[in-house]
Each structure stands twice: as structure tokens, then as C-alpha cells.
Amino acid sequence: MISPIVLTLLPTTHDLGGFKVRRVLPQKRRAMVGPFIFVDEFGPARLEIGRDLGVRPHPHIGLATVTYLFDVAIDHRDSLGTFQTIAPARSI
């Protein structure tokens, strides 16, 4: 038997200037997932090539980050100086 849906979580939305990020987890209503699990979605968005997204510096120490893009690519740099181009698997 399939379990019934017991909780529906609505994301909080943050405008980062030109695109919005929706965060579903973490939330106070579903704290059991732990402090280091984030589920974010952004887009669709049209961004100019070379435009800095304005995301503040942030380390990824102790976190395993999974980013999945459906189209194009994005360069990511964190406050430790780590740089990575993230692209859909078919584009790599």
C-alpha cells in the first residue's frame, strides 16, 4: 500500500536580481533531514554571458553539493577559490 502524503512543503523564494531561487529544504516544518541538506531550484532565467550572479562568498566545507543543469553551463567559484564549470552531462 502506498503511504499518503503527510506534508506538503512550499519553498521560500529569494530574489537574487535577475533570477529567483526557491528553497524547499531545510525548513522548520521538516527538520529531520539534517542541517546540511538543501534543495534549491532556480530558473528558468536568461542571464548575460559573463554576468556575475552576485551570490555572496560561501564555503562548501563538509558539504556534498549536487548541481543539475538542464541547459547551458554556469561557472561556480566559492570563497576558498575553488572554481568549477557546471554543465549538463551531454555538454561536458
**Which structural domain, as residue segments, surrounds residue 88?**
56-92
Q: Are 13 and 21 within 8 A, CB to CB?
A: yes
- 7 and 41 fall within a common domain: yes
- Model pLDDT, residue 33: 67
Q: How far apart are CA 14 and CA 22, in angstroms?
A: 6
Q: How far apart are CA 88 and CA 73, in angstroms?
A: 7
pTM of the model: 0.58
Task: Render each residue's pLDDT in the chain as its tens digit; 92 residues.
Answer: 788 888 888 898 988 777 788 888 878 887 666 666 778 888 777 777 777 777 776 666 666 677 777 778 888 877 778 888 888 876 44
Q: Where are the beta strands (DSSP E) in 33-73?
A: 39-42
Does any domain span residue 51?
Answer: no
Number of domains in the chain: 2
- Model pLDDT, residue 3: 80
- Model pLDDT, residue 91: 47
Give the pairing of strands 74-77 and 20-25.
Answer: unpaired
